Amino acid sequence: MARFYDLTVTDVQKTIRDAVVVTLEPGPEAAEAFAFKQGQYLTFRRDFDGEEVRRSYSICAGLDDGVLQVGIKQVEGGAFSSFANQELKVGDTLTAMPPMGSFTADLAPTAARNYLAFAGGSGITPVLSILKTVLAREPQANFTLVYANRGVNTIMFREEIEDLKNLYMGRLTVIHVLESDAQEIELFTGRVTEEKCAELFEHWIDVSGVDLAFICGPEPMMLGIARALEAHGLAKSQIKFELFASGQPGQAKRSTTAAKASKGAAKTQISITMDGATRMIEAEKDVSILEAALANALDAPFACKAGVCSTCRCKVIEGEAEMAANHALEDYEVSRGYILSCQAYPLTDTITVDYDQ
Amino acid sequence: MSEAMTTDQYLAQGGVLTSPANASPRYRAEVMKIMASFVDSEMAGAAGFADVINAAPGLRERIAAAKIVLEKTRHAEMVLDLMGEFGANTGRYATSHPWTARLDRDAAPDAARSAHDMRLSVFNYPLDGWTDAVTMNLVMGLAVGVQLAELGRVSYQPLAEAFATIAPVEANHVKLAAEGLTALAAAGKADTVKASLAYWQPRVAQVFGSEDPGRFEALSALGLRHRDSAAMKADWQTALDVTLADLGLG
C-alpha cells in the first residue's frame, strides 16, 4: 500500500498569474523513494476544514535538474491548488506519496528518436519533464512540442521553453497554438482538434518519422489528437497519454451517520445503489453486506473477500455498519463513510449503501 | 481548450484513463476485478506449477518449469502493484489466499470461481503429474494468449501497458509447453497427452464461459471489453487445433 512522506518546500515560484512551481525536498530516509521517472506525478494529501483532500500534480523537473518540482495551476474552487498558489511558502511541509504513473518512456541514449508531444495548458508539466530529460540524455533525439493555451499570458514555462530552444538549437521545435490570441499563421489559432492536427501534419509535422508521441490535456483534446495520430499511421503502442481530467472525482462531502439504532432485530433492510439503480433487500445482521448483495443476485464488485484489495468498497449513506477487518481503507476514507462491504456487517435495522460514490 | 465532456463520454469514444484519480467508483471496481482475476490466476497457476518442478523428467524441464513459476509470479506482482495504487494492501495480498487449494481431480468442469479468490475456474483443478502439467500449460497458455490480446486493449493505460509487457513472456510459456509435448510424444507418451487434452479442453473452455450481454455492453462502454467471449473462444479453439496439428496430436 502506498505510503505518505513529508516533503519540505524549498522554493515557490510563480510561472504565470495563476500557477506556481513548487520545489520539494524529501528527508534523507525518503530520498530513494522519490527518485522519479520523467513524466510521473506526485499525489499530495492535506486536510481542509477537517476533510482530507488528495490531489495529483505532475513533476515538471527533468532527471538532470537535481530537484523535485511540481507545477500547480490554480483551479476555480480547488482547495489544494488555491492553497498552493496563495498560501504555500518556503519552509512549509507537504505530504505526498512517492512518484507514480506510466506517462514516461525508457531512455535510449544512443538512438536518434523523434518525439512528438502535445500539451494543453497545465498539461505541459509532465511533458516539460520528458522534454528536458530526453534532450539531455538522448543527444541525437529531436523533439517537437505542440503547446495549446488560451492566450499568450496563460502559457506556463514560456520563457523556460524559449531558453531550451536556444540550448538545443535545431533539436527542439515548439508550435504554440492559442485559442483566443490571433497569430501570424492562422493555423496556430484555435483549439487543437483532430482537424487542426491533420492540417499540422500536412505541412508542419512529419508524423511518419515519429517514434513516440505524448499527449497530456483534457478529454476532448486527447481523443482528437489520438485519432489524428492513428489516422496518420501511428500505432496505439506509440502513443502515451496522461489525462488531466476537467474534474477529479473524490470530492464527496462527509456523510452523516445516524445515531446507533436499537440492535434488537436480527434482520436488517439494506438499500443498495449500484449502477444508478437502487434495490432493497432483507438480510441477517451476521451476513456481510457484500454476501447479502450477492445472495440477491446483485452484481456487487469484489475480489479478495479478505479486506485486503478494496475492490468491494462502497459508501454508507445512512445507518451504521461494523467492519470485521480493514487492511485497505485509510482513515480518511472510513471517516467519509466508506466501508469494505466484504467485511461490513449491518448494526442498524436499516442501512443504505452506495457503490456508485 | 476543453469543451465539457464527461469521463463516461470520453471512455465511450475510446479515451484512456491514466491514474486512479481519473477513475469513477464503477470504473475502479471493474478494473480492480480484472486485475484481481489476473493476479489470482497467476498466483494459483504458479502455485500449482511449483509442485510440478519436482516431477520434471530432466534438468532442462526443471529449468523450464521453474522459469514458468518465476515469471507467472512476477506477472502477478506487476499487476498487484497497480492494484496497490488503487489502495489494495499489496503486502498482505500475497498471503491472504490458499493459492494451492484445488478441487478433486474428477470434479466436473464448472465455470464457478473458487470460494477463496478470483482465479479463473480452470485453476480449481489439480495437475496430475508432469505430462498433465505440460498439456494443461499448452491448452491454457493459448487461452491466456487470447485473453491478453483482449486485456491489452483495456482503457486503463497502466494496465494495458503491463499486459503488453506480460503477453510475450506468457507466449513463451506456450512455446516451452509445445517443446515439452514434442519430447513426450517422441518418448511414446502420446496417449497420456491425449488423455490430458481430453481432461483440460472442457475446463479451459469455461474460461470463455457464457456471459451476460448487458454486462459485456456496460464493460465495452467503459473501454474494458472489446470482443465477446464467443469470438475469443473461437480464436482459442482455432489456435489449439493448429498447434495440436503441428505437434501431430490433432
Distances (CA, A) of A188 to A118, A119, B2: 13, 14, 17
Chain A residues touching residue B15 (CB < 8 angstroms): 219, 222-223, 243
Give me the pLDDT at residue B109, please. 86
Residue A47: left (phi > 0), alpha (psi -120 to 50), or beta?
Answer: beta
Judged by CB atoms closer than 8 Å, whether chains meet at B24 and A223 is answered as no
- Is the model's pLDDT at A234 over the cut of 80? yes
Judged by CB atoms closer than 8 Å, whether chains meet at B36 and A250 is answered as no
Within chain B, where are the H helices?
7-12, 25-52, 59-85, 90-93, 129-151, 157-186, 190-205, 213-221, 229-246
- In this complex, the residue of A242, A299, A308 whose CB is nearest that of residue B89 is A308
Chain B residues touching residue A150 (CB < 8 angstroms): 1
Place domain A267-354 in its CATH homologous superfamily: Beta-grasp domain (3.10.20.30)
Class of the domain covering A5-96: mainly beta
Give residue B3's pLDDT band: very low, low, confident or very high (50, 70, 90).
low
Judged by CB atoms closer than 8 Å, whether chains meet at B21 and A330 is answered as no
- Interstrand relation of A313-318 and A142-149 (parallel, antiparallel or unpaired): unpaired
What distance in Å separates the CA atoms of residue B124 and residue B135, rounded to the nearest whole number? 16
Judged by CB atoms closer than 8 Å, whether chains meet at A275 and B93 is answered as no
Provide the residue ranges of all domains of chain A, joining segments of one domain with +: 5-96, 114-243, 267-354
Tens-digit pLDDT profile for residues A271-307: 999 888 899 999 999 899 999 998 898 888 888 787 8
Chain B residues touching residue A102 (CB < 8 angstroms): 18, 157-158, 161
**What is the average per-residue pLDDT within A253-274?**
62
The share of chain A scoring above pLDDT 70, in percent, equals 94
Residue B8 lies in a domain: no
Give me the pLDDT at residue A244, please. 84
Residue B75 lies in a domain: yes
Question: Looking at the 3D structure of chain B, how many domains does it have?
Answer: 1
Give me the pLDDT at residue A247, please. 56
Average pLDDT, whole number, for chain A? 89
Domain region containing B240? 22-92+115-246
Give me the pLDDT at residue A259, please. 35
Q: Residue B191 class from Cβ within 10 Å (0-12 exposed, 13-18 middle, 19+ buried)?
A: exposed
Which stretch of A189-198, B100-109, B181-190 has the lowest confidence by average pLDDT?
B100-109
Residues 6+ apart with CB under 8 A from B28: A313, B20, B86
pTM of the model: 0.82
| Domain range A114-243, CATH architecture | 3-Layer(aba) Sandwich (3.40)
**How many other CB atoms are there within 10 angstroms of residue A336's CB atom?**
18
- Interstrand relation of A142-149 and A172-178 (parallel, antiparallel or unpaired): parallel
Q: How far does the CA of residue B157 sit from the closest CA of chain A (Å)?
A: 8
Q: Report how many Cβ contacts below 8 Å link chain A to chain B.
A: 156
Pairwise pLDDT comparison (B1 vs A17), residue with the higher score:
A17
Global ipTM = 0.76
- CATH number for the domain harbouring residue B163: 1.20.1260.10
Give me the pLDDT at residue A226, please. 95
Give me the pLDDT at residue A2, please. 61
Average pLDDT, whole number, for chain B? 92
Q: Residue B61 class from Cβ within 10 Å (0-12 exposed, 13-18 middle, 19+ buried)?
A: buried
Give me the pLDDT at residue A262, please. 41
Tens-digit pLDDT profile for residues B101-158: 888 898 888 877 766 678 888 999 999 999 999 999 999 999 999 999 999 999 999 9
- Is the model's pLDDT at B5 over the cut of 60? yes
Q: Which of A192, A273, A308 to mutate to test the interface with B (most CBs of B within 10 A)?
A: A308
Residue of chain B nearest A326, judged by CA positions: B89
Residue B221 lies in a domain: yes
Judged by CB atoms closer than 8 Å, whether chains meet at A313 and B13 is answered as no
**How many other CB atoms are there within 10 angstroms of residue A228's CB atom?**
22
Answer for the pair A283, A353: CB distance below 8 angstroms, yes or no: no
Residue B97 lies in a domain: no
Residues 6+ apart with CB under 8 A from A17: A153
The share of chain A scoring above pLDDT 90, in percent, equals 67
- Is the model's pLDDT at B239 over the cut of 80? yes
Give residue B195's pLDDT band: very low, low, confident or very high (50, 70, 90).
very high
